[in-house]
Each structure stands twice: as structure tokens, then as C-alpha cells.
Amino acid sequence: MKMNKINPRTRQIIQDIRSAYVPTEAYERLDSYFGQLLEQRRADMAEGIVSNLRGIVLVGQSGAGKTSAIKELRRRYQNRLVCDDPDGTMELAGLHVPSPASMKHVGTATLQALGYPLSRDRSAPVIWDMVRRQLKLRQTLFLHLDEAQDLAQHQTDKERQAVVNTRKSLMENSQWPVGLLLTGMPGLKVIVNQDPQLARRLYPIEIERLSEYTGQDQVLSLVARYCDRATLEWHEDVRTADFASRLMHAADYEFGLLAQYIVETITDALRSEGGSTVVSKRHFAAVYHMRTAAIPGLNPFIAEDFYHIDPRQCFNDDVKGGC
């Protein structure tokens, strides 16, 4: 496909589309819970009160939109939270849970996220004592652990209970309690339900998969919303229930992936055809091919029997194989 030279206006539209975020019901709950926790912590600090804290657990399949939700949360609260201030304050710290997720490895990664890398080997108990000290020194109010489901993988019940106890101890610390923000795949529920006390201290949020029958209007509305934002027209073939079903299937019924498809399609259309293009199903088919290298017979926007296509596979050229 021939690429036109992008003018400043088109480039600005592309950047705007790429940075846009459409809040979901799950995100609204995340924002509400986080705001409540932050407000209560600020009030307690003003009164000199130290109380046990609560946290949030956000779960969803790969592509559900967890990363985008946390990114948007950080953006919205960037003026209300001090992060990595010159004086050392880091009110919101975050890390990707390492693999293997042993207590020692997770503690070491937490210290690194707090800007305190270990210079020599230490035992897990010593490392977590250091973590608690650093959380207080950096005035950390919230600690975000991403891919937290790995804390439960390849662990015995005893090891999982040790993980749970450590997490609870951070929220119950009498010197400096920290609110937890846990995000991950549905396997994270194993950790949360390991201990009723931990479960009671976490607000649970799950990003549900899109529904074939109830999600069509939501999908079509989202396409229209992004096209309007890009000041583009959209073709009749992307206004139908059939198209909504195809787009949901291409995104494996995950909202985050679906939003990515819409953004990438509009961006590609703008880059290749400019602001006069009319977004159509062929644009979505082209982006699906770019992402998967699938032949037309295995492209959900082209194939007649698209429900048998595995949208998670790349280089899939076996029409008979299906999934």
C-alpha cells in the first residue's frame, strides 16, 4: 500500500487517536475505588492516623485492557500523586512481577522499583524488611504489582500463603501501611482467595470479555466515536451487526485488543490515504493481515465462516485446520 507524506494536521490527528482512551465500566470502578483510597489515606495522614489499608485487584485476560487502564489511571492522577520527586518521594511505585516469582526475586524487584538496587545477596526476610523501610522513606502510598498471577505459579500452598502474608503485612504495617494495586490474568484469583482476610481487603474488578450478542452496539458506537474524533467518515459496511461480530472475533472478544484494532485501522488509513478516506471493512482486513499475516480465507473480515478462525495465531495459512 502506497504511503502518502503525512502533513502536520494528519500527524496531530494520529497522535490524538493513539493517546485517546475510552473509559469502560471496569475502568470507572478502578478510578472510583482508587480515588476513595487516596482520599482516605490523605485524610488519615492529616490527622496522624495509621490504619490498615485496602487495595484493588484488577483481573482480565491478555488483551482485556489492563495495561491501558493503569496507564490512564496514572495519567489522571499525575497531579494528585508525587512520583519520583527530587526529594525522593514516590507515592505510587510499580513493578512487573519477575519470573520465577519467588519471595526473594519479587522483593529484589520491588527494591529496584523504589530506586534501591541491592549491591549484594540477601535473604528473603532481610530483603522484605528493606522493602518496608524504603516504602516509608519514599512515602509510598500505593504499590502496583503487574502480572501478579505469577505469584501463584509453580508454588505450593505453603509458599502461596507466605506470599499472601507478605502482601497483608504491607497493608497492615503499623509504621507505614501501603495500599496494593494488583493486576494480572484470572490466575491471580488464586492468590486473592488463598486467605479470606486478604480477599476482604481488596476491591475486586474483572474486565469481562465482550459478548457476541450484547456487545454489538458497544462495538459500533466505539468505531463511530473514534472515527468522529479523527474527523473521518465510516462506510456502511462498518455499521452492521455482522461487522461488529467480525471485529469482536478478530479481537478474541477482548476490549483492549478491539480498541487497538480500531486505532491501528484509523491510523493506517490516515497514513496511506489521508484525511479524505472513508474507513471501511477493507481497512480492518488490511490491519488484521499486518498483525497476523493470515491468508484471506483466515481473515475474519473477509472469510465467510470466520467463527472457526483462531485470531491469536500468526502465519496461519491452514484453511482446513481452523481452531
pLDDT digits (tens, 9 = 90+) for 287-315: 999 999 999 999 999 999 999 999 999 88
For the range 221-229, what are the long-range contacts, defined as Cβ-Cβ under 8 Å and sequence gap of 24 or more? 222/22, 222/258, 222/259, 222/262, 223/247, 223/262, 223/279, 225/22, 226/17, 226/20, 226/22, 226/262, 226/263, 226/266, 227/266, 227/279, 229/16, 229/17, 229/20
Alpha-carbon distance of 68 to 104, in angstroms, equals: 29
Q: How confident is the model at residue 155 (pLDDT cuts 50, 70, 90)?
A: confident
- Which residues, in sequence order, are CB contacts of 98 under 8 Å at separation 6+? 105, 106, 108, 109, 150
* Span 121-149, average pLDDT: 95
In this structure, the answer to whether residues 64 and 192 fall within a common structural domain is yes
- pTM, rounded to two decimals: 0.89
* Span 28-55, average pLDDT: 95
pLDDT of residue 87: 76
In this structure, the answer to whether residues 259 and 229 fall within a common structural domain is yes
Alpha-carbon distance of 132 to 119, in angstroms, equals: 18
Residue 315 covered by a domain: no
In this structure, the answer to whether residues 36 and 129 fall within a common structural domain is yes
- Which residues, in sequence order, are CB contacts of 296 under 8 Å at separation 6+? 285, 302, 303
pLDDT of residue 4: 54
Q: Please provide the average confidence, as pLDDT, over all residues in the chain.
A: 92
Residue 88 covered by a domain: yes
Q: What is the CATH number of the domain that holds 117?
A: 3.40.50.300
Cβ atoms of residues 150 and 97 within 8 Å: yes
Q: How confident is the model at residue 6 (pLDDT cuts 50, 70, 90)?
A: confident
* Among the listed residues 68, 52, 41, the one whose alpha carbon sits nearest the alpha carbon of residue 207: 68
Q: How far is CA 271 from CA 9, 13, 184, 235, 259, in A?
A: 12, 11, 34, 18, 18
For 68-82, 147-161, 197-211, 235-249, which range has the lowest pLDDT when averaged over its residues?
A: 147-161
pLDDT of residue 212: 87
In this structure, the answer to whether residues 93 and 140 fall within a common structural domain is yes
Counting residues of the chain whose pLDDT is more than 70, the rounded percentage is: 96
Residue 202 covered by a domain: yes
Work out the angle between the directed axes of helices 255-273 and 8-19 (0-180°, nearest 10).
180
In this structure, the answer to whether residues 63 and 104 fall within a common structural domain is yes
In this structure, the answer to whether residues 71 and 194 fall within a common structural domain is yes
In this structure, the answer to whether residues 70 and 187 fall within a common structural domain is yes
In this structure, the answer to whether residues 71 and 174 fall within a common structural domain is yes
Residue 319, pLDDT above cutoff 90: no
pLDDT of residue 322: 39
Cβ atoms of residues 180 and 202 within 8 Å: yes
Alpha-carbon distance of 323 to 317, in angstroms, equals: 12
For 33-37, 105-109, 315-319, which range has the lowest pLDDT when averaged over its residues?
A: 315-319
Alpha-carbon distance of 198 to 164, in angstroms, equals: 7
In this structure, the answer to whether residues 194 and 152 fall within a common structural domain is yes
* Span 38-45, average pLDDT: 95
Task: Report the number of distinct structural domains present in the chain.
Answer: 2
Angle at 165 between CA 157 and CA 93, to 5 degrees: 120
pLDDT of residue 202: 96
Q: Give the domain range for residue 153.
A: 25-206
* Span 139-166, average pLDDT: 88
pLDDT of residue 5: 67
Q: How confident is the model at residue 1 (pLDDT cuts 50, 70, 90)?
A: very low
In this structure, the answer to whether residues 119 and 254 fall within a common structural domain is no
Residue 100: asked if its preceding bond is cis (omega within 30°), the reply is: yes
